[in-house]
Amino acid sequence: MEVMVDIETTGLSPDRNGILQIAAVCFDLKDGRILGENVFVRSLRLMPHRGWDEGTREWWLKDKRALLQKIMSTQEDPRVVLKDFQKWVLERGNPNFWAKPTSFDFPFLQSHFNDCEMSMPFNFRHAIDCRSYVVGRATSSGIKPLDEKELSFVGEQHNALDDVFHQIGWVMQVHNDTELKLVNG
């Protein structure tokens, strides 16, 4: 099982800034299917010791004010959201954690789970970085890596759920293109 994860945050520091929104969607890379009924998307209130990076706050208010207001209007207790997310992941067995990049999303989630004294439901050994996957597939097939910006974006960028669907589409496009190249090459 594959799970694409995206988070929206109040800054870039996993130990100081907070997660505003978590989205996750299951997909089957082999069959090329998005398992749309397996979706998790929730918004979190900031934990007391976490805050905003002022540059990030300014960016949200200048470029994405309406989306930020929408996210903040649905915020819930972070402990409840994380417990539900942990349960959602564990119900799917031991899925691979996909993100863009894993070096951002994984530490944020790990830090938040630690703060709530909960175990992280993903294993770091099963973390797959989208960009690394795309470059690796393309390089091994002798083709130019597809830049995600070459794909049209459906929805609103920085809405975690829309970002997740875009990232899955990017990975699947590259996977399918390289499969064709390997078969025909």
Once rounded to an integer, what is the mean pLDDT over residues 98-111? 98
Confidence of residue 180 (pLDDT cuts 50, 70, 90): very low
Average pLDDT of the chain, as a whole number? 92
Per-residue pLDDT reduced to its tens digit, 37-88? 789 999 999 999 999 999 999 999 999 999 999 999 999 999 999 999 999 9
pLDDT at 77: 98
pLDDT reading at 178 higher than 70: no
Architecture label for domain 2-184: 2-Layer Sandwich (3.30)
Task: Give 120-162 pLDDT, tens digit per residue.
Answer: 999 999 999 999 999 998 887 777 788 888 889 999 999 999 9
The per-residue pLDDT for range 72-85, each reduced to its tens digit, is 999 999 999 999 99
Residue 185 has pLDDT above 70, yes or no: no
Report pTM: 0.93
Given a contact cutoff of 8 angstroms between Cβ atoms, the answer to whether 23 and 43 are in contact is no
The 10s digit of each residue's pLDDT in 151-173 is 899 999 999 999 999 999 999 98
Q: What is the pLDDT of residue 32?
A: 84
User: Domain locations in the chain?
Assistant: 2-184
DSSP-derived pairing of the beta strands 2-9 and 127-129: unpaired
Question: What is the rounded CA–CA span in Å between residue 137 and residue 132?
Answer: 8
SS3 content of the chain, % helix, strand, coil (to 5): 50, 20, 30
Which of 76, 79, 73, 61 is CA-nearest to residue 158?
Answer: 61
99, β-bridge pairs: 129
Indicate if the pLDDT at residue 31 is higher than 90.
no
